[in-house]
């Protein structure tokens, strides 16, 4: 399928109750994904409320307005799409009240890539958007589950991974005991099966949860460390830096501000402005 999807702007946007953006239109697609609170939108003579997990999909040229009903937070993506995917993308419904888990993961990963700004992040952001469009164009897209993780036929390994997912604060000794192994044997068995030590795997899972808390909740660095079972915030910061390349404070700072990624000036870049002024409610 020949198609060119280019993300030009990614913004994580917080609004206070009553704040709004007046009716406007763009020469590009505008997707709004609800993270917290509720946003009312009016588009093409239709009103709908975007809750957490909901997705508004405004195609080019459609006038729309945005009103925050409470303390809201949303992910706004401005992109262009050319080729054979452009027409199906423009014909998607304006609003889905709840998208599937895997689509939500794609959108959150898109924001994480924008915040980390590592080599290739701009390209990955556009690829995530391309994948999302392909999934949304499937008739069963609203109910797509996350792809299952194949852990083989070993029931003990499966149990260990399930326990880590549910209880990321378990120590390696507690995890080994829950699986019926001595700690040293369990560590060797786990490393052979997964390619890393259980401690490294647990830290990876914790850092994924940490990124989620720092980007999508009001937790600060200390609160995030405490929720993930780190008794020392400095050790948490060191582990976070080792696995992501930046400190959690820097990650939080980038994520708390409007994040702009991949403002590409090429044949696909539309003319005009990307952001319209946010208005406060009349007193």
Tell me the per-residue pLDDT of 196-245, one tens digit each, with 9 for 90 and over.
899 988 988 899 889 889 988 889 999 999 999 898 999 999 999 998 88
Residue 107 CA to residue 53 CA, distance in Å, equals 10
- The three-state secondary structure class of 118 is coil
Residue 170 has pLDDT above 50, yes or no: yes
In a domain, 43, yes or no: yes
Per the listing, tokens 């609004």 go with 15
pLDDT of 146 higher than 80: no
Position 40 in a domain: yes
Domain that holds residue 64: 3-143
Does residue 268 form part of some domain? no
**Better-predicted residue by pLDDT, 138 or 273:** 138
Is 263 part of a structural domain of the chain? no
- Is there a single domain that holds both residue 135 and residue 236? no
Where do we find the tokens 């959108």?
A: 107
Q: What is the mean pLDDT of residues 111-128?
A: 87
Confidence of residue 192 (pLDDT cuts 50, 70, 90): confident
Determine the average pLDDT of the residues in 240-252.
Answer: 90
The least confident of 3-12, 102-111, 117-126, 272-281 is 272-281
Whether residue 260 is predicted with pLDDT greater than 60 in this model: the reply is no
26 is a domain residue:
yes
Mean pLDDT of the chain, nearest integer: 84
pLDDT at 151: 44
For the chain, where are the E strands, in sequence order? 3-15, 20-24, 29-36, 39-43, 46-50, 55-58, 64-68, 72-83, 95-96
Residue 154: per-residue pLDDT: 64
pLDDT of the residue at 141: 40
Residue 100 pLDDT: 83
Of the chain, the percentage scoring pLDDT greater than 90 comes to 47
What local confidence, expressed as pLDDT, does residue 258 receive?
A: 61
Task: Give the CA dihedral 122, 128, 130, 133, nearest 10 degrees.
Answer: -140
* Residues 76-102, mean pLDDT to the nearest whole number: 91
**Which residues have a Cβ under 8 Å from the Cβ of 87 and sit 6 or more positions away?**
none
In percent, how much of the chain has pLDDT > 70?
Answer: 86
b/e for 190-228, b at 16 or more Cβ within 10 A?
A: beeeeeeebebbbbeebbeebbebbbbeebbbeebbebb
Which residues is 78 bridged to in the sheet? 9, 30
The CATH code of the domain that includes 217 is 1.10.10.60
Q: Is there a single domain that holds both residue 85 and residue 26?
A: yes
Interval 30-86: pLDDT, tens:
999 999 899 999 998 899 999 999 999 999 999 999 999 999 999 999 999 988 899
More confident residue, 80 or 279: 80
Do 174 and 239 share a domain, yes or no?
yes
| Residue 129 and residue 21 share a domain | yes
Q: What are phi and psi of 237, to 5 degrees?
A: -65, -40
User: In angstroms, rounded to a whole number, what is the distance separating the alpha carbons of residues 164 and 147?
Assistant: 18
Residues 56 and 166 in one domain: no
Per-residue pLDDT band for 143 (boundaries 50, 70, 90) equals very low
Shared domain check, 78 and 53: yes
pTM > 0.75: no
Does 10 lie in the same domain as 138?
yes
Give residues with Cβ within 8 angstroms of 28, minimum separation 6: 8, 60, 78, 79, 80, 270
Rounded CA gap, 203 and 103, in Å? 24
3-state secondary structure of 103: helix
Whether pLDDT at 126 is above 50: yes
Indicate if 113 and 47 belong to the same structural domain: yes
Tell me how far apart the alpha carbons of residues 58 and 142 are, in angstroms, rounded to a whole number.
17
**Same structural domain for residues 131 and 162?**
no
């Amino acid at each position: 399928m020949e198609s060119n999807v280019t993300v030009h702007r990614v913004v994580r946007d917080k609004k206070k109750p009553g704040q709004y953006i007046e009716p406007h239109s763009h020469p590009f697609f505008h997707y709004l994904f609800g993270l917290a609170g509720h946003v009312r939108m009016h588009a093409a003579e239709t009103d709908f409320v975007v809750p957490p997990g909901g997705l508004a999909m405004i195609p080019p040229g459609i006038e729309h307005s945005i009103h925050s009903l409470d303390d809201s937070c949303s992910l706004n993506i401005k992109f262009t799409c050319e080729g054979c995917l452009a027409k199906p993308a423009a014909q998607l419904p304006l609003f889905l009240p709840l998208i599937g888990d895997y689509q939500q993961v794609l959108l959150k990963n898109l924001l994480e890539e924008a915040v980390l700004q590592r080599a290739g992040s701009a390209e990955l952001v556009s690829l995530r958007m391309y994948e999302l469009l392909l999934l949304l164009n499937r008739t069963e897209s609203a109910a797509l589950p996350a792809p299952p993780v194949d852990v083989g036929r070993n029931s003990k390994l499966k149990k260990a991974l399930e326990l880590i997912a549910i209880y990321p604060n378990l120590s390696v000794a507690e995890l080994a005991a829950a699986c019926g192994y001595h700690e040293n044997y369990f560590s060797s068995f786990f490393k052979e099966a997964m390619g890393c030590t259980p401690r490294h795997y647990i830290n990876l899972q914790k850092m994924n949860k940490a990124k989620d808390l720092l980007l999508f909740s009001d937790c600060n660095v200390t609160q995030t460390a405490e929720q993930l079972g780190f008794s020392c915030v400095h050790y948490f910061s060191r582990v976070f830096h080792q696995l992501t390349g930046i400190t959690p404070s820097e990650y939080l700072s980038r994520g708390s501000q409007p994040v702009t990624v991949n403002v590409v000036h090429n044949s696909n870049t539309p003319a005009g402005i990307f952001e319209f002024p946010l208005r406060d409610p009349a007193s």
